[in-house]
Structure 1
Amino acid sequence: LVINSSLVTREPKRKDVTVVKVAATDIANEMGNVRVANMVALGAVIGSTGVVTAESLLEALRKNLPAHRQNLLPLNKEAIEKGRDAVKK
């Protein structure tokens, strides 16, 4: 369970899940674009689970983003890396 600790302060009641907290909104705001909070959270998922690599995620974005959105790849990459690094500390 990934919790955006910028917005959620309550602790989950369930004890049968792994909880990963990341200040996704705060990190995205520091980057100057709150819209990448989802990518920060996704970075936290890959940083805490290793389910995929950041490189494979970025490759999937490259292949699936429309041409007029390809300019967002560097920002998304930075957000993913910051989310990943935030949970690896």
Structure 2
Amino acid sequence: MLRPGGPLLLGFHVGDEATLKTEGYGGHPMKVRVHRRQHAQLFTWLGDAGFVVESHRTLTSAGSRLGGMILARRRSADVPGDGG
């Protein structure tokens, strides 16, 4: 739970696909479904959940997939009794 106006920093993989990851860092076995998302989809979900997006970035690197970062704040009016 975030206080009214509280910041949320969200990091994610950018893309449209989902893959099954079977090996983690150091070769450790795992079974995790990795979902990549576009910024626009996360903007919608954050807005629906009562957040306002303040900033966003796409991170690039020659050796890895695209990454995304979004900085958002919780709207005060979404907290019962807050009067915001």
* TM-score of the pair, normalised by structure 2: 0.31
When you count strand as a share of all residues, which structure comes out higher? Answer: 2
Larger Rg: 2
